[in-house]
Amino acid sequence: MAKELQKWVVMVTAQTPTNIAVIKYWGKRDETLILPINDSISVTLDPDHLCTTTTVSVSPSFEQDRMWLNGKEISLLGGRFQSCLREIRSRACDLEDEKKGIKIKKMDWEKLRLHIASYNNFPTAAGLASSAAGLACFVFALAKLMNLNEDNGQLSAIARRGSGSACRSLYGGFVKWIMGKEENGSDSIAFQLADEKHWDDLVIVIAVVSARQKETSSTTGMQDSCKTSMLIQHRAKEVVPKRIIQMEDAIEKRDFPSFARLACADSNQFHAVCLDTSPPIFYMNDTSHKIISCVEKWNRSVGTPQVAYTFDAGPNAVLIARDRKIAALLLRRLLFHFPPTFQHCLNSYVIGDKSILQDVGVQDMKDIESLPPPPEIKDNIPAQKSNGDVSYFICTRPGRGPVLLPDSGALLNPETGLPK
Amino acid sequence: MAKELQKWVVMVTAQTPTNIAVIKYWGKRDETLILPINDSISVTLDPDHLCTTTTVSVSPSFEQDRMWLNGKEISLLGGRFQSCLREIRSRACDLEDEKKGIKIKKMDWEKLRLHIASYNNFPTAAGLASSAAGLACFVFALAKLMNLNEDNGQLSAIARRGSGSACRSLYGGFVKWIMGKEENGSDSIAFQLADEKHWDDLVIVIAVVSARQKETSSTTGMQDSCKTSMLIQHRAKEVVPKRIIQMEDAIEKRDFPSFARLACADSNQFHAVCLDTSPPIFYMNDTSHKIISCVEKWNRSVGTPQVAYTFDAGPNAVLIARDRKIAALLLRRLLFHFPPTFQHCLNSYVIGDKSILQDVGVQDMKDIESLPPPPEIKDNIPAQKSNGDVSYFICTRPGRGPVLLPDSGALLNPETGLPK
């Protein structure tokens, strides 16, 4: 090929959602292959509010693999990116773009370098499963670029090598990650239990809680739990398998009370195992506890669960309301207990699907101040208000799986292959 | 008997320690008899710093059973007091005081009414096992008054009916409560593993942590755990029995590293079971977590445990230092991380055995302000200071079991049988 012909850049842009586990993944039986000690089930969150967008590009003019995350160049040399890259390159197929006159042979992919740009539409540091969405998007976009024949289930096994929970972000709706039995991990894949339309009443409110202490990474945390917790094996072998069956059933039947009871119990048990670790791991803090107490009190006062809560490896609460009406009542309670500080404006304190704020009947900060205490709070207990404990709320819902975006949405310049 | 002869008052005053479990009791197999689902082991705390003093008295002039706690009359009708009273009265023996010319027949005890006054030398509400010391003292003093033949082991089974952990306060030093096998609870008793002189290097610092939320009572809490936790049975049947053997061995050999590892792990597991309960129970708060992190970081930096921590059904930390030198280093760290607020004076912020303060080299508030950060805190992490999170510290040590006090220490007037 003449040098001027080599100036082409081929790119693919994809968008991939985050997911929140309702039956938790905690503990690996194989650290390298990232094989879990139990199945897990997650809800995919609407990418309109929480997603990663990734553009992957290839060009004969690229001299090395490079990656940018949120505009900042980062190293691609990490074992997790490399594992995924290796798996994808080994499955790459011929690519032909007749219009542009580009032809990449299967074997060429090993030599061609990549430029990758990734962007999260939410704060990476907020502890909102950015690595799950990020790795899933990385794998999905590269698989499309390199013309892989693999379906999303097979891609999920590749994403798993990057970040365990990433495999669940290959699908929308309700997703199960089967732990698998094979030593090589080939059967440890995700599949869709039901799509996002199956149960579209659900509304999700995420309370992003200000963390005061640096947290144990989930990788280190689950290693420590596997080594030291006397309860984790009992959980993985005796408790989770039953819950998985019950949760699948609850999702299939849209049985919210069962769904909520299982999700709350499993979140609490995951954190119990963290506490049973040496040294103990505390992901939830006093604010997380307050949110749980608020939901538990309300659920009990009604007699049947209205809202489920679940917490990942951090203090943020993911609250799942049975429908939009309940979500408005939930947000009312949350805004009552955790009003914004004077530095906030309401517009930045409740983000995502703001339309729920209208149902709450709250338009400005004054409306929040005059919110009455929820009826389940007894008169004799002074209602505690905790300004500043919550950074902001995100209103969202179950959402779709990965999609390809048109080139207009690309994060890389189609001429240079550098970030726009 | 002529009426003027009936004016006598016979009284007994006893002092009984509190205890802190290092292998925890959580969960009953029989609610009425208070029979636990696992053995537990405790350290008795020095009654000089934490104890209950109780005067029990009997007089033919008393018209009804009455009781005063910390000077305030309380009801004796509660099931727990009544269980103990019934057990003790049924075992009462003849009592003869030749000097005073008093003779009480075995059968008379059923008819004679009692006056009881009890006093804790520490705040009842601080969550420092006041019920354990209180019920143990109640039983011990009444048993002496009514001239029971039972030894402390048999008395421990009676105290158990009042409050499970009270049975462990019948002995000093290191105490084991055997869960027993009998349905009637006759073999669920405490006995002494070693007295307080066996391991007198140990120094105990209690951080009384300001609770912000009302806590679940341990009675309700353990009921809920037994009903809903999927982990509690595994803990009771598989984990605790091994730990009991190891802990007995560690105590016998004064093996501090093993003692500390077991105590910390078991405290954390007890709280893990609480978290695994529905609704979840949070006894530890962010301050408790900070204290654990401080101790864990220090222990790890030294390479072998210097200090053990254990938490009961509340946020207070009980910290056990391997010796006096380590206790001073511990108090240094605690005062660095949790300095008193300006309202405190040092004299009321560190109570109990204040002599440790001299070893710390701290004489006034200014000395605390100029404490350097502990070496294990890396320079790049700003040391967090948390004023006001700890109410006060109590410095103490393992201590003796119940003792009788001379009448000069009685809480009741020997003429009237009413509180002094």
pLDDT tens-digit readout, B25-61:
999 999 999 999 999 999 999 999 999 999 999 999 9
Q: Give the model confidence (pLDDT) of A251-267 as tens digits.
A: 999 999 999 999 999 99
What is the b/e burial string over B310-345, where b = at least 16 CB atoms within 10 angstroms of the residue's CB? bbbbbbbbbbbbbebebbbbbbbbbbbbbbbeeebe
Of residues A297, A302, A299, the one with CA closest to residue A320: A299
Higher pLDDT, A121 or A253: A253
B333 has pLDDT over 70? yes
Q: How close A10 gets to chain B, by Cα (Å)? A: 44
Give me the total of CB pairs closer than 8 Å, taking one residue from chain A and one from chain B: 91
Strand order in the sheet with A390-396: A307-310, A317-321, A203-209, A390-396, A350-352
Residue-level pLDDT at B341? 84
Evaluate if residue A386 carries a pLDDT over 90. Answer: no
Residue B282 sits at the chain A interface (C-beta within 8 Å): yes
Cα dihedral A26, A134, A350, A387 sign: positive
Distance CA B39, CA B251 (A): 16
User: Average of pLDDT values for A23-39?
Assistant: 97
**pLDDT given at position B387:** 76
Q: Give the Cβ contact number of residue A185 at 10 Å.
A: 20
> What is the mean predicted confidence (pLDDT) over A287-308?
96
User: Do residue A279 and residue B292 have CB atoms under 8 angstroms apart?
Assistant: yes
Contacts of B127 (CB under 8 A, 6+ apart): B208, B211, B215, B312, B313, B314, B315, B316
d(CA B384, CA A213): 10
Q: For residue A379, name the pLDDT band (cuts at 50, 70, 90).
A: low
Task: Return the minimum-mean-pLDDT range out of A262-276, B43-57, B209-223.
Answer: B209-223
Residue of B289, B293, B295 to mutate, interface with A, max A Cβ within 10 Å = B289
Quick check: B271 and A269 CB within 8 A? Answer: no
Substitution target from B229, B274, B275 for chain A, most A beta carbons within 10 A: B275
Per-residue confidence (pLDDT) for residue A331, from 0 to 100: 96
B278 pLDDT band (50/70/90 cuts)? very high
Distance from CA of A278 to the nearest CA of B (A): 7
Q: Bridge-partner residues for A404, per DSSP?
A: A14
Instruction: Give the pLDDT mean for B225-242.
Output: 98
pLDDT, chain B, mean? 93
* Mean pLDDT of the residues in chain A: 93
Tokens of A237: 């072998």
Closest CB to A268 among B212, B275, B285: B275
Q: What is the pLDDT of residues A80-95, one digit of tens each?
A: 999 999 999 999 999 9
| Residue A380 pLDDT greater than 80, yes or no | no
- Residues A306-328 have a mean pLDDT of 96
Q: Which region among A241-245, B160-164, B209-213, B380-384 has the lowest average model confidence (pLDDT)?
A: B380-384
Closest CA to A95 of A122, A132, A69, A58: A58
Q: What is the mean pLDDT of residues A7-33?
A: 96
- Which residues of chain B have a CB within 8 Å of the CB of A280? 268, 292, 296
pLDDT at B389 over 50: yes
Class of domain A3-195: alpha beta
Question: pLDDT (tens digit, 9 = 90+) per residue, B367-387?
Answer: 888 888 999 887 545 567 777
Split at pLDDT 50, 70, 90, the class of A1 is: very low
What was the pLDDT predicted at A3?
A: 46
Of the candidates A268, A280, A286, the beta carbon closest to that of B280 is on: A268
Confidence at B125, pLDDT banded by 50, 70, 90? low
Task: Report the CATH fold assignment for B3-199.
Answer: Ribosomal Protein S5; domain 2 (3.30.230)
Question: What was the pLDDT predicted at B36?
Answer: 98
A126: pLDDT confidence band, cut at 50, 70 and 90?
low
B264 to A278: CB separation less than 8 angstroms, yes or no: yes
Cα–Cα dist A128/A124, whole Å: 7
Give the Cα separation of A204 and A259 in Å (integer).
Answer: 14
- pLDDT for residue B366 is more than 70: yes
Residue A2: the pLDDT is 42
CA nearest to B8, candidates B48, B55, B61, B53: B61
- A118 in a known ligand binding site: no
The answer for B 161-220 residues in CB contact with A (under 8 A) is 212-214
Domain boundaries, chain B: 3-199, 203-396
Shortest CA distance to A276 belongs to which of B151, B274, B271? B271
User: A230–B235: do the CB atoms touch at under 8 Å?
Assistant: yes
Classified by CATH at the fold level, domain B203-396 comes out as Alpha-Beta Plaits (3.30.70)
pLDDT > 80? residue A339? yes
Write out pLDDT tens, residues A48-64: 999 999 999 999 999 99
Rounded to a whole number, what is the distance in Å from the CA of A9 to chain B's nearest CA? 43
* Helix and strand totals (H; E) in chain B: 12, 19
pLDDT for A6 beyond 70: no
Q: Is B25 annotated in some ligand binding site? A: yes
B293 touches chain A (CB under 8 A): yes
CB A411 within 8 A of CB A53: yes
% of residues, chain A, pLDDT over 70: 95
Q: What is the mean pLDDT of residues B129-144?
A: 92
Query: Which range among A2-11, A15-24, A56-65, A249-258 shows the weakest confidence by mean pLDDT?
Result: A2-11
Residue with tokens 């609250």: A319
Q: Which of residues 217-276 of A touch B (CB under 8 A)?
A: 228, 230-231, 234-235, 238-239, 261, 264-265, 268-269, 271-273, 275-276
CB contact under 8 A, A212 and B265: no
A277 contact residues in B (CB cutoff 8 A): 268
Q: How far is B246 from chain A (nearest CA, A)?
A: 15
pLDDT above 70: residue A318: yes
| CA–CA distance, A13 with A402 (Å, rounded to integer) | 11
B163 labeled part of a ligand binding site: yes
| Residues 296-335 in A contacting B (C-alpha not used; CB under 8 Å) | 296, 300
Secondary structure element (H or E) that encloses residue B263, with its range: helix B256-275
Q: Does B286 touch chain A (CB under 8 A)?
A: yes
Indicate yes or no: CB of B230 within 8 angstroms of CB of A293: no
- Within 8 A of A282 by CB-CB distance, chain B residues are 289, 292
